[in-house]
Structure 1
Amino acid sequence: MAPTSIDATDDVVTLVNVFTVTPETQQRLVELLGRATEEVMRHRPGFVSANIHAGLDGTRVANYAQWRSVEDFRAALEDPVVREHIDEITTFATADPQLYRVVSTHHA
């Protein structure tokens, strides 16, 4: 799998999903998201990449994922296997998923 590339000229849609967890469940969510991405999400049509970030205070996990289109992302959400993972996550974490497009990048 190619590394994530963030470029305003790429024709992708970006999911930024910030989860709220307890410090005791942060690692569980990180592991679940990693497993779900590796075993399920990356095999769905339109998937480009995913990056999982653990908040330093232990109460947040952010998933930055790229998809070829909004339609591909929404179709993945309708997949029963994907829904199983989402349902498990919602038993101990709250999510705030939002879709974005990259409009600007800056580098040193």
Structure 2
Amino acid sequence: MNNPMNVIVRFELKEGEIEVLVPLIQEFFEKEVSAVPGFISAKIHKNEEGSVLINYATWESEEKFLKFVKEVAQVSEISKKIQAFASKTDRVFEITL
């Protein structure tokens, strides 16, 4: 069995951008991502200054995440608006002890 995969997307934002980006991410997860097979959960974190936003999502497997990217994220109008903000993405895998 595959270990869950966590996707961490970090946005470094200019003043006022967080107020635009957070609702877009929330809408994207509520309307599109939550229904995708393999999606487990997501959280959004921000720093105190509002200049850094981190989106942390957990997927059942890398395969399910890659299918989501191909079939949803690359074609979604909401996703395209989110992608307009500069971001860095890391994929990390859980290590079970």
TM range (shorter): 0.7 to 0.9
Gaps of 5+ in 1: 1-9
Count of residues paired in the alignment: 93
TM, length-normalised to structure 2: 0.85
4+ runs of 1 displaced by more than 2 Å?
81-86
Gaps of 5+ in 2: none
> Which one of 68, 72, 84 corresponds to residue 64 of structure 2?
72
Asked if 1:19 is matched to 2:49, the reply is no
- Percent of pairs with identical residues: 25
RMSD: 1.8
Superimposed CA distance per residue, residues 62-81 of structure 1 (whole angstroms, 9 cap, x where no aligned partner): 011100011111111112x4
Aligned position for 1:61: 53
Q: Report 1 or 2 for greater relative contact order, CA contacts < 8 Å, sequence distance ≥ 6.
A: 2
TM, length-normalised to structure 1: 0.77
Q: Distance in 1 between matches of 2:94 and 2:82?
A: 27
Code of the residue aligned with 2:81 in structure 1: it is E
